[in-house]
């Protein structure tokens, strides 16, 4: 059980990193069309798509990624607490 929780927390860390790369790719023109961009978009969009309906865009900035990373870290926190209780 402990190994499974550890593995899930590491996967959440990797997914958070992929989301940060996704956000950074938005700074470069046509970056989403590159091979790396297509991989990152394919991994990121399934989790981001349900939250896009919340319309978290303010002043031209999309805070959907921030919300998803926050929720992933919250899930990681709860998983870590399960490990110790």
Q: Which of 75, 80, 59, 61 is nearest to 16 (CA)?
A: 75
Give mean pLDDT, residues 30-44: 95
Tokens of 29: 């023109």
pLDDT at 80: 87
Domain count, the chain: 1
| Residue 48 pLDDT > 90 | yes
| Residue 37 pLDDT > 90 | yes
| Residue 24 pLDDT > 80 | yes
pLDDT at 45: 94
Domain limits for position 80: 2-84
Give mean pLDDT, residues 30-41: 94
What angle (nearest 5°) sits at the alpha carbon of residue 52, between those of residues 71 and 49?
Answer: 80
- pLDDT, one tens digit per residue, over 55-85 is 888 888 889 999 999 999 999 999 988 877 7
- The reported pTM is 0.88
């Amino acid at each position: 059980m402990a190994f499974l929780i550890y593995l899930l927390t590491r996967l959440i860390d990797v997914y958070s990193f992929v989301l940060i790369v996704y956000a950074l790719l938005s700074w470069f023109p046509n970056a989403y069309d590159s091979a790396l961009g297509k991989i990152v978009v394919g991994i990121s969009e399934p989790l981001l798509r349900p939250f896009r309906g919340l319309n978290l865009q303010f002043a031209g900035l999309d805070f959907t990624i921030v919300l998803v990373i926050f929720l992933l870290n919250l899930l990681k926190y709860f998983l870590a607490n399960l490990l110790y209780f």
